[in-house]
């Protein structure tokens, strides 16, 4: 069997459940589009054959028809019904999530493929029985299906073997010339093996293409995330925070709404690192970041400003509202017990608040300095406090 993903086998890349679902989703979506095209085409062709060949012949046997046998009408009718039922089923299944109906699609597409091709193989046999010669209709359809429908090995071998055996059965039953039987059988086998090879190669290439695209998308997302976030805490880094704050200040300038800055410093964080070690200090930073994220609004911003300092941008928030938020965060940090493998610790933090107002593009630096002064005052007053900058009180 051909290697399905030799490129990724070399890197020993293991797909997650979500990635596999995404790959199957893309494969199924592509296959559904392709099989729908076949079903619609068959439906149109069969309607034409029935209306302009089969029915006129049944009404008038002297009518010059391409397929002058009532059994062709039955086969054309079967193909028409299969096409209609297939389209209806796909329409119904389309209302559900792809991963939920994945197993159904895995059965539906092979079944539809096998039914349509088997019908073509029977028509091929009838051609031989009625007209005494074999046509290339079945082989042509087999090649087209193998090139269009995405099917992995050995599933394609099973699916295409059924109509091929029907084709061989028609040859054995209706082909009385031994030389023609052997010739058509050998040629059919060569085409069949080529179909399996074509189908497998196309599926493998398409699978690999989708897999590469998924990995590329995730890699780009991860790189973008790493370029905009602090690796330890997952908060925005200073560059991204500054860029987003600048955009939000433009909105505030236009709407004349208020915003507030909160500068936060973890109390005695140096002692935590020195006495308990940097791994414990990292846990403290992560826990503190988690508490911040639980208390700010989705359109607010927060960054790890440096070391144990955090800066919060509260969008559309008054100074009084900012104080309430800061106080809730302070209490949450104070009451939180940080549990590690070796120790349980509690920490506190000091807060300085300032208001962004008037010309926001010019006041950010000034407001930050005011928040820094207020933070210093909070530390001077014994730490674990929230202080509003004097100009904003």
Burial class from Cβ neighbours inside 10 Å (0-12, 13-18, 19+) for residue 332 reads middle
Relative to beta strand 301-306, strand 309-314 is: antiparallel
The total number of residues shown for the chain amounts to: 393
* CA distances to 35, 43, 232, 380 from 332, in Å: 57, 66, 21, 21
d(CA 42, CA 82): 9
Beta strand extents in 259-348 (DSSP E only): 259-266, 301-306, 309-314, 338-339, 344-345
User: Which tokens in the block code for residue 136?
Assistant: 């290339």
The residue assigned the tokens 């202080």 is 387
102 among known catalytic residues: no
Identify whether the C-beta of residue 301 lies closer than 8 Å to the C-beta of residue 312: yes
In a 3-state reduction of DSSP, which class is residue 363? Answer: helix
Identify the active-site residue in 308, 309, 327, 362.
308
d(CA 203, CA 342): 53
d(CA 84, CA 265): 68
User: Which tokens in the block code for residue 96?
Assistant: 């559900």
Burial class from Cβ neighbours inside 10 Å (0-12, 13-18, 19+) for residue 120 reads buried
Please provide the distance, in angstroms rounded to a whole number, between the alpha carbons at the two ends of the chain. Answer: 76
d(CA 293, CA 296): 6
* CA distances to 4, 212, 215, 217 from 13, in Å: 13, 11, 10, 15
Other CB atoms within 10 A of residue 196 CB: 19
Among 41, 244, 265, which residue's Cα sits nearest to residue 148? Answer: 41
d(CA 93, CA 32): 10
What's 51's DSSP letter?
Answer: I
Question: Could you give the residue numbers annotated as active site?
Answer: 308
């Amino acid at each position: 069997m051909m290697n399905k993903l030799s490129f990724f086998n070399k890197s020993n890349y293991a797909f997650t459940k979500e990635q596999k679902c995404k790959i199957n989703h893309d494969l199924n979506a592509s296959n559904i589009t392709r099989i729908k095209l076949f079903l619609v085409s068959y439906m149109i062709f069969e309607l034409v054959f029935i209306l302009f060949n089969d029915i006129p012949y049944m009404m008038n046997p002297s009518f010059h028809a391409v397929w002058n046998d009532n059994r062709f009408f039955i086969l054309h009718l079967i193909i028409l019904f299969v096409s209609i039922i297939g389209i209806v089923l796909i329409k119904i299944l389309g209302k559900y999530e792809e991963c939920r109906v994945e197993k159904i699609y895995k059965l539906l597409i092979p079944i539809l493929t096998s039914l349509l091709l088997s019908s073509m193989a029977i028509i091929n046999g009838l051609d031989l029985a009625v007209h005494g010669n074999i046509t290339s209709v079945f082989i042509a359809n087999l090649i087209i299906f193998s090139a269009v429908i995405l099917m992995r090995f050995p599933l394609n071998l099973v699916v295409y073997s059924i109509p091929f055996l029907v084709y061989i059965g028609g040859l054995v039953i209706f082909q009385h010339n031994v030389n023609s039987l052997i010739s058509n059988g050998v040629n059919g086998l060569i085409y069949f093996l080529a179909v399996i090879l074509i189908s497998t190669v196309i599926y493998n290439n398409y699978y690999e293409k989708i897999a590469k695209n998924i990995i590329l998308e995730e890699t780009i997302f991860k790189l973008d995330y790493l370029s905009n976030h602090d690796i330890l805490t997952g908060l925005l880094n200073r560059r991204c925070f500054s860029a987003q704050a600048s955009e939000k200040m433009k909105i505030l300038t236009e709407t004349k709404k208020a915003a507030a800055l909160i500068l936060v410093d973890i109390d005695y964080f140096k002692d935590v690192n020195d006495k308990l070690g940097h791994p414990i200090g990292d846990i403290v930073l992560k826990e503190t970041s988690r508490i911040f994220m639980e208390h700010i609004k989705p359109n607010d911003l927060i960054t790890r400003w440096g070391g144990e300092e955090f800066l919060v941008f509260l969008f559309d928030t008054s100074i009084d509202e900012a104080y309430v938020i800061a106080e809730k965060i302070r209490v949450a940090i104070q009451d939180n017990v940080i549990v590690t493998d070796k120790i349980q610790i509690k920490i506190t933090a000091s807060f300085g608040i300032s208001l962004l107002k008037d010309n926001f593009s010019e006041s950010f630096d000034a407001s930050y300095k005011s928040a820094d002064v207020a933070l210093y005052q909070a530390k001077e007053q014994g730490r674990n406090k929230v202080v509003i900058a004097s100009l904003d009180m």
